[in-house]
Structure 1
């Protein structure tokens, strides 16, 4: 996530500079490596908690969500 945010910020603030082009290359290499290793982003929001895939940092009691949702 931090690499993604840094990449996006550099594209906005330093577009078409050597820094932006270098960050783009780094980002593409990481993306390629992750795909080759079978690593994919998860989107667990509003899905049931799965102890095999998720780690609990804390809980929040909410009346507008079913219990056990991420």
Structure 2
């Protein structure tokens, strides 16, 4: 660059340096390039922000779809299970009856056990209500009765068992 600067001397005057047109041209080009770099950096930042937003939106959609899928698979057995609960109730009533036919009783016990196992594999479990505090979320009160030595609000009799599927109510226990 120092080669492009001409020094002129005159008598009694200082040395004045003047830039040649090439140096001025290079300076303009550097300024133009710096401006372009600034503009490109701004565009990169804008695109990074847009990418981050798009990525976040995609993740939110993925999570929502996964939650919907989990919810559907978790509770798809609900209607089928509701149809099976009366069969389970009938087995319990049959087992509660006195019978002299041991083969009959053994057969009903086997069916009842297999049905309970099949339901429990799908996350369907009995609601434990007897001797528990009444909970309106899981119990349906049919009557109240005061008994000695029993605190008020404690379930003392279950008329029909209740069931839950995973963490949701399938059928309330009638108490």
TM-score of the aligned structures, taking structure 1 as reference length: 0.61
Partner residue, 1:15: 102
- 8 Å CA contact 1:48, 1:69 repeated in 2: yes
Partner residue, 2:133: 48
2:88 is aligned with 1:3: no
- 8 Å CA contact 1:7, 1:27 repeated in 2: no
Deviations 1:15-65 (Å, cap 9, x if unpaired)? 34xx55653553243122211222222332221111111111011123422
More relative contact order, 1 or 2 (CA 8 Å, 6+ apart): 1
Partner residue, 1:58: 143
- 8 Å CA contact 2:133, 2:154 repeated in 1: yes
- In structure 2, runs of 5+ residues without a counterpart are 1-88, 156-175
TM-score of the aligned structures, taking structure 2 as reference length: 0.31
- In structure 1, runs of 5+ residues without a counterpart are none
- 8 Å CA contact 2:91, 2:108 repeated in 1: no
Rg larger for: 2
Aligned length: 67
- Which structure dedicates a bigger proportion of its chain to strand? 2
- Which structure dedicates a bigger proportion of its chain to helix? 2
Using the TM superposition, name which of 28-37 and 50-59 deviates more: 28-37
